[in-house]
């Protein structure tokens, strides 16, 4: 094997707790309202942190506990990319950003800090200073409002790849 797990013994995965309706561990920063939607393979959740001058980015995560990029099977990897595109288009409908960026981290040296794969999807604005690493916590209420806005856009007739009730749960 070319990589090893960095997940500590007895790791309590915050994303698995959210997706599986488990009680949240003490360090879990997720809130139930962070879940935007889920499909059989992946889910879209609001991130608890904002970066730069704006908050409200999304993470696309596998529904199975997979630690890093190296662990993704082809079907899950394809689903992650498809839902990344779908969420980026929903952001255009909901918030009208000037662009979108994605990023993903693996292993400690790659800046991964949650041991469950997650693809970040950011709405971009000319003055957002995203890459200055101005990380700040977003309130649960602000994340919930943004999740509702995105959910509405995802199910909107205006969305070219809109979700149908049969496609997703949330």
**Distance of alpha carbon 41 from alpha carbon 80, whole angstroms:** 8
Instruction: Give CA–CA dist 60/69, Å, rounded.
Output: 12
pLDDT tens readout for residues 30-79 = 999 999 999 999 999 999 988 777 788 999 999 999 999 999 999 999 99
pLDDT (mean) for 136-148:
88
56: how many CB neighbours lie within 10 A of its CB?
21
DSSP 14-39: HHHHHHTTPPPPTT----GGGEEEE-
Phi (first) and psi of residue 141, to 5 degrees: -65, -40
Q: What distance in Å separates the CA atoms of residue 140 and residue 105, rounded to the nearest whole number? A: 24
Query: DSSP state, 64?
Result: S
Global pTM reads 0.86
Average pLDDT of the chain, as a whole number: 92
C-alpha span between 152 and 144 (Å, rounded): 12
- 3-class SS at 163? coil
For range 5-12, the mean pLDDT: 94
- Residue 1 pLDDT greater than 80, yes or no: no
């Amino acid at each position: 094997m070319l990589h090893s797990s960095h997940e500590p013994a007895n790791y309590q995965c915050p994303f698995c707790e959210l997706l599986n309706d488990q009680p949240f561990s003490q360090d879990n920063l997720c809130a139930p309202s962070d879940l935007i939607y889920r499909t059989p393979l992946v889910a879209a959740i609001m991130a608890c942190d904002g970066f730069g001058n704006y908050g409200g980015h999304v993470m696309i995560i596998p529904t199975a506990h997979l630690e890093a990029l190296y662990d993704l099977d082809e079907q899950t990897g394809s689903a992650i990319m498809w839902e990344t595109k779908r969420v980026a288009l929903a952001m255009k409908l909901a918030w009208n950003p000037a662009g979108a960026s994605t990023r993903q981290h693996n292993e400690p040296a790659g800046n991964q800090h949650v041991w469950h794969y997650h693809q970040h999807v950011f709405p971009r604005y000319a003055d957002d200073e995203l890459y200055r690493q101005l990380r700040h916590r977003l309130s649960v209420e602000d994340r919930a409002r943004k999740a509702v806005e995105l959910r509405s856009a995802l199910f909107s007739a205006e969305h070219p790849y809109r979700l149908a009730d049969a496609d997703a749960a949330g």
